[in-house]
Chains A and B, each alone.
Chain A
Amino acid sequence: MDNSEQDVTGLLVAWSQGDKDALDRLAPLVYDELRRIAHRYMKREAAGHTLQTTALVNEAYLKLAGQPITDLESRKHFFAIAARVMRQLLVDHARTRRSAKRGGGARPASLDETGALTLEQAAGLLAQNAPTLTPERAADLVALDEALFELETRSHEKSRVVELHHFLGLTFDEVAEVMGLSSRTVKRHWESAKAWLHHAISKGTPHEA
């Protein structure tokens, strides 16, 4: 790829060197790819299986760059981006859900004149019974996102750990690997981040503690 600015690897490098726009350029691509792959996984896997996050992210990279992640730097950056994207995706979702509650939510299904549920209503009821994000949980997620935003100004590393572990679902070992830290350090960051975040959400912003 002679135009290194354009391909995914190039963008990763640009981003790691502080080019904010590179992330902007990458994020939508990653976002869409993750969503598609994840959706496919969800359909394929029986309920209850957790997502094989690393596999998913690796696959997304493969699709985007046309080659597997080989060097460590790219891997590191790409996972960070995937985690960021996942966070955005989940929080966007939560925000919409939360507002749905305030808007009065779905209308109750009503029987038509023949006394039968229409297909659409039946589908609606089924969907409602699926494990979906409740408005309460959605509100929590939005609050967490805001607290995490604050935490990021204090410790970039901590917020990365939270994104990778909590939003992307990597194990601590995997987080350690992609961040190039020891597992112990990751765990330490995680525990204190959890304390700061919970404190911020229940009391105020972290730095006002």
Chain B
Amino acid sequence: MKPERWDEVDQILQSVLERAPAEREAYLLEVCAGDEQLRREVLTVLASHEQAGSFMASPAFQGSGDIFDDEPKLKQGDLIGLYRITKPIGRGGMGEVYLAEHTAQSREVALKILPQHFLDDGQRVQRFRQEARAVLALNHPNVVTVYDIGESEGIHFISTEFVEGQTLRERMTSVRLTIEEAVDIALQVASALAYAHEKGVIHRDVKPENIMLRPDGYVKVLDFGIAKLTEGKARSGTNDPNEAPTRVKASTTPGMVMGTVHYMSPEQARGLKVDERTDTWSLGCVLYEMLTGRQPFDGETPSDVIATILKHDPAPLTSLLPDTPAELEHIVSKALDKSKDERYQTAKDFLADLRRFKRHYEREADIERSTPPGERAQIAAGVSTGGQQASPTNTGESATSTAVTAHTTSSAEYIVSEFKRHRTGILLTIAALVVVAALGFGVYKFFSRGAADKTVAARDVKITPLPINGILANAGWSSAAISPDGKYVVYVLVTHNEKGEDVESMWEMYRPTGDAKQILPPSKDSYGGLAFADDGDYVYYWDGSDERHQVSLYKISVIGGVPKKLIDNIKRANFAPSPDGKQVALLRYDENGGGSLLVANEDGTGERLLVKREGIKDWIDGSPTWSPDGKSIACFAGTYEGGVHHTLLIVNVAEGTQKEVGTAKWYGAAYVLWLHDGSGLLVAVDDYRTAPTQVWYVSYPDGAARRVTNDLNNYFFTSATADSKTVLAVQEKHPLDIWVTPVGGNSGQAKQVTFTRGDGRNGVAWTPDGRIVFDTVGNSNLWVMKADGTDRRQITSGTDNNFMPSVSPDGRFVAFISLRGGSPHVWRIDMDGSNLKQLTFGPSEESRPSITPDGKWVIFSSFRSTGKLTPWKVSTDGGEPVQLSDKQLQCGNASPDGKLIVCADSSQTQGKWKILLLPIEGGEPVKVIEPPDRFFGFPGWTADGSAITLLHNGGGADNFWKLPLDGSPPKSLTNFTDSSLQSTIFNYAFSPDGKMLTFTRSNSTSDLVLISDFK
């Protein structure tokens, strides 16, 4: 209907409606004057009026009685997209925040529901989405990670990392912060801002409500989600209305209260374009308030506050806080300069000044207190939170700080992370890794479905983060222990020395006060194997260097003092002191696979072999653990027979007899811990190939096994309290996502394209038309997406685990590993999900399939026939596989000309690993390359086939490099420098034209947690 016509109809409608119902028809006929069409149109609408009944009869808010309630609108169990609401955790005038769970990933998130009107015009939705992309790419320990921004049935939401703790606002209302605390918080916020500004994101709404304080001292800045992406550097002075709506953004923040105007910069209050400097202003306001307890600019009404911001200087710090150091006063007034040109120009400058101040201030304080310098800095935040603050059942994202290199047992990643961990040259330092490699490359889902169904996670398990300020040492060598009385926690921290090298120090926290003290100074040696004997007086640990593969066993009193060397220079082993402290159990991996369990006296004398399992097919694994009476030791027995699996093994110390406990079998096994009360054992194990290392409880002696944790984290532990109620564990997260970068690209050019934190776990591959095929975490399936992460489409389906994709040269099909036949075999499927076909069969395990450039063969590694991992190929149409070498090798892909296959030889237990080039027909290697130090990862080919691609760690970042086959020096293919990219890279693939690179990256973090209520 044309507007004029509509108006005409409406005019008539209005006049008709003014008449009594009985008169209307006659009147309408008259007024339409023969225009039958017009009459019918009016009549239709009129009929609606007559049928309206109670429609709009009472004001809309009647019957919406709960609108002004503080009752949350969503309830437990409600679904918003893929998220299930757990409970409300906060609200503001403009939105609600819930704790929710991602239904597919059992991940806890904070789910923010955005007010509808915020997004009710298309243009703004568009703008919002653009900003969202920038925000999603932020990845910094002080920035709350945004996982997902989406919409479901008209409800727009943002899901973010769920942070336990309190807001700075809450903290400030309950306590007055000290100068140290205030500066420490400001430092961390400045660090978050400096990072975000570098990425082109301005926060625009820095205020105490948006600053979360975690119990462990970490500060997390919230709500970058509403920040607007700045387009390049500030175009100063423009008053373009499109650039101006800063206040809109600032004001639409959920949690917005009237007070928000208090932190607005003068330019923001004027509605002018804002840049980084608006954030430094706001942080200045926050710092002022932390120090004085008063907002620098105040007023009766928002208008008054704005007037104050524009016209008045705040009261000098010294008038409110007489002892304010002059340096701090200067910092605050510089941050609050009304002229943005006189203010801190970048958050980085602000950060630098805060750091400098902190150093000076603490040095003075330290001198006053006559305590050794350096310690306070490290423990300040931990102490300030005062011991552990219980936060029930936090199994979600409460990640600390930056990357600790991942240790994941029983998977290929182990090798990668070990490479990285032992950065000095590396290879598989101990025979254990041969076994681990075997596990990593073998793939098996051993346990029956029935058994899996019975293993329901304990419902009431509590996982409580323990506040530790710093980065934990590699969890793989059990870097933390709790004393039997539960009062002490000893842990190993990684820091950097002046040369930027990793150094490890040992700390002891007295839990009742939360005080942490250093018991061993930073050293380039590694510490590990932390354990207590039953009396709790001594901590046992290893001290060793990675190069020597030799360690010495020490013990040190919890009261402090000089460590006592117990056993000098022995081959590294997993160990456990006996309950009476007189003996140690040692679990040692043998050179040629297999392993031994031994006992020895505390000083290393009287070594006695208890169990030996030999050969590549049988081994012994795990950290040994003593029964409470000291008569038995438990560990894992591993075997390849019938598919890789581990069972729990109990060995009688006096007689050396062994028995398996229960029927539970796990794919991978890392730790076992016998509870002091003898009721059972806790194990850290992997269910199946793509599963994380989770905690299970095995009751004793009946052996019934039950899963305790149910999340995507890895857990490692070696100690429990004497009452058997609490276990100290390292909770390790390595969320994986896929990145894309042009070859030659730098940190700024690398783009994260997936945000599920579980993509590309076992493989990524390019299609000829530039799309990316990848697998996922958990019950893995294959997916394909455009290289920018859009148009994500599932290729395989089901819960049988499909992973390690390789795309055919014509892009028509994918070869991959699937467990759908029970054990891991090579399968193929068309890109559109049709023509699923199994290519290999039999009692075997296959991994890393790769299609040759001619599309005729799939190369893969397999345990078939020999029981050791060797290279094979099978026709892409199926048929009998052909063995390419009888050497123990992990094979990669074929060269671009299809003539050679690149393989990694990590069978040497000492010395370096090697890269071998085999002819595609099989046989002896045509070339053997020894990668220089600091190179690691799976070898691949450059697009022209002239060089081998590898990863290299140096200068604080991992980069892709090539090793030219002509012997010329290695060359870097990427120039990542950003420290935020200092994280583990797992899988990668170069595009067929060699111009693009996709890779899977994980920013692993480790937290100490206490697990209780697991029985």
Q: How far is the CA of A104 from the CA of B103 in the complex (A)?
A: 14
Q: Is A68 an interface residue (CB 8 A)?
A: no
B80 / chain A contacts, CB cutoff of 8 Å = 99, 103
Q: How far is the CA of A154 from the CA of B252 in the complex (A)?
A: 29
Q: How far is the CA of A39 from the CA of B71 in the complex (A)?
A: 11
Known: A28-B94, A99-B154, A154-B3. A131 touches B301 (CB 8 A): no
Do B77 and A106 touch across chains, with their CB atoms under 8 A apart? yes
Residue from B46, B60, B68, B77 within 8 A of A104 (CB atoms) = B77
Q: How far is the CA of A36 from the CA of B68 in the complex (A)?
A: 8
B77 / chain A contacts, CB cutoff of 8 Å = 103-107
Do B45 and A209 touch across chains, with their CB atoms under 8 A apart? yes
Do B115 and A196 touch across chains, with their CB atoms under 8 A apart? no
Do B13 and A192 touch across chains, with their CB atoms under 8 A apart? yes
Q: How far is the CA of A96 from the CA of B155 in the complex (A)?
A: 7
Measured CB to CB, the nearest residue on chain B to A170 is: B59
Q: How far is the CA of A208 from the CA of B2 in the complex (A)?
A: 10
Q: With both chains docked as a complex, state the minimum distance between the C-beta of B962 and any C-beta of chain A, in angstroms.
A: 52
Residue from A6, A33, A198 within 8 A of B269 (CB atoms) = A6
Q: Is A166 an interface residue (CB 8 A)?
A: yes
Q: Is B66 an interface residue (CB 8 A)?
A: yes
Q: Is A195 an interface residue (CB 8 A)?
A: yes
Q: With both chains docked as a complex, state the minimum distance between the C-beta of B148 and any C-beta of chain A, in angstroms.
A: 17
A142 / chain B contacts, CB cutoff of 8 Å = 154
Do B117 and A27 touch across chains, with their CB atoms under 8 A apart? yes
Measured CB to CB, the nearest residue on chain A to B11 is: A192
Do A192 and B117 touch across chains, with their CB atoms under 8 A apart? no
A162 / chain B contacts, CB cutoff of 8 Å = 56
Q: Is B251 an interface residue (CB 8 A)?
A: yes
Residue from B51, B75, B155, B303 within 8 A of A64 (CB atoms) = B303
Q: Is A58 an interface residue (CB 8 A)?
A: no
Interface string of B332-344 (1 = CB under 8 A from A): 0000000000000
Interface string of B43-81 (1 = CB under 8 A from A): 011111101100110011111111111110111111110
Known: A154-B3, A194-B49, A198-B48. A7 touches B306 (CB 8 A): yes
Interface size range on B against A: 35 or more
Measured CB to CB, the nearest residue on chain B to A10 is: B303
Interface SS of chain A: helix, strand, loop or mixed?
helix
Interface SS of chain B: helix, strand, loop or mixed?
mixed
Q: Is A57 an interface residue (CB 8 A)?
A: no
B14 / chain A contacts, CB cutoff of 8 Å = 188-189, 191-192
Do A28 and B18 touch across chains, with their CB atoms under 8 A apart? no
Q: Is B9 an interface residue (CB 8 A)?
A: yes
Do B56 and A166 touch across chains, with their CB atoms under 8 A apart? yes
Do A100 and B73 touch across chains, with their CB atoms under 8 A apart? yes
Known: A32-B256, A93-B73, A100-B73. A192 touches B303 (CB 8 A): no
Q: Is A69 an interface residue (CB 8 A)?
A: no
Q: Is B307 an interface residue (CB 8 A)?
A: yes
Do B245 and A24 touch across chains, with their CB atoms under 8 A apart? yes
Do B48 and A202 touch across chains, with their CB atoms under 8 A apart? yes
Q: Is B310 an interface residue (CB 8 A)?
A: yes
Residue from B55, B152, B252 within 8 A of A28 (CB atoms) = B252
Do A66 and B304 touch across chains, with their CB atoms under 8 A apart? yes
Q: Is B778 an interface residue (CB 8 A)?
A: no
Measured CB to CB, the nearest residue on chain B to A138 is: B64
Residue from B59, B65, B78 within 8 A of A131 (CB atoms) = B65
Do B55 and A198 touch across chains, with their CB atoms under 8 A apart? yes
Interface size range on A against B: 35 or more
Do A133 and B17 touch across chains, with their CB atoms under 8 A apart? no
Q: Is B886 an interface residue (CB 8 A)?
A: no
Do A25 and B301 touch across chains, with their CB atoms under 8 A apart? no
Q: Is A76 an interface residue (CB 8 A)?
A: no
Q: How far is the CA of A8 from the CA of B241 in the complex (A)?
A: 18
Interface string of A18-35 (1 = CB under 8 A from B): 010100110111011101
Residue from B93, B247, B248 within 8 A of A31 (CB atoms) = B93
B6 / chain A contacts, CB cutoff of 8 Å = 154, 206-207
Residue from A21, A86, A199 within 8 A of B241 (CB atoms) = A21
Q: With both chains docked as a complex, state the minimum distance between the C-beta of B659 and any C-beta of chain A, in angstroms.
A: 38
Do B74 and A96 touch across chains, with their CB atoms under 8 A apart? yes
Residue from B62, B65, B68, B306 within 8 A of A35 (CB atoms) = B68
Residues 17-73 (chain A) with a chain B CB within 8 angstroms = 19, 21, 24-25, 27-29, 31-33, 35-36, 38-39, 42, 50-51, 63-66
A133 / chain B contacts, CB cutoff of 8 Å = 63-67
Q: How far is the CA of A2 from the CA of B75 in the complex (A)?
A: 47
Residues 413-466 (chain B) with a chain A CB within 8 angstroms = none
Do B113 and A96 touch across chains, with their CB atoms under 8 A apart? yes
B59 / chain A contacts, CB cutoff of 8 Å = 50, 165-169
Do A95 and B258 touch across chains, with their CB atoms under 8 A apart? no
Do B64 and A93 touch across chains, with their CB atoms under 8 A apart? yes
B522 / chain A contacts, CB cutoff of 8 Å = none
Residue from A105, A127, A195 within 8 A of B52 (CB atoms) = A195
Q: With both chains docked as a complex, state the minimum distance between the C-beta of A131 and any C-beta of chain B, in angstroms.
A: 4
Do A1 and B75 touch across chains, with their CB atoms under 8 A apart? no
10 A-B pairs with least C-beta separation: A32-B93, A66-B301, A199-B48, A195-B49, A103-B79, A88-B117, A28-B251, A169-B59, A103-B78, A24-B248
Ordered by A's residue number, 5 sampled pairs between the chains whose C-beta atoms are within 8 Å are A88-B116, A144-B56, A166-B60, A191-B14, A192-B13
Known: A1-B307, A141-B60. 18 other contacts (CB 8 A): A50-B59, A51-B61, A64-B302, A64-B303, A65-B303, A66-B300, A88-B116, A90-B64, A92-B115, A103-B79, A107-B75, A107-B77, A167-B59, A168-B59, A191-B14, A191-B18, A195-B46, A198-B56
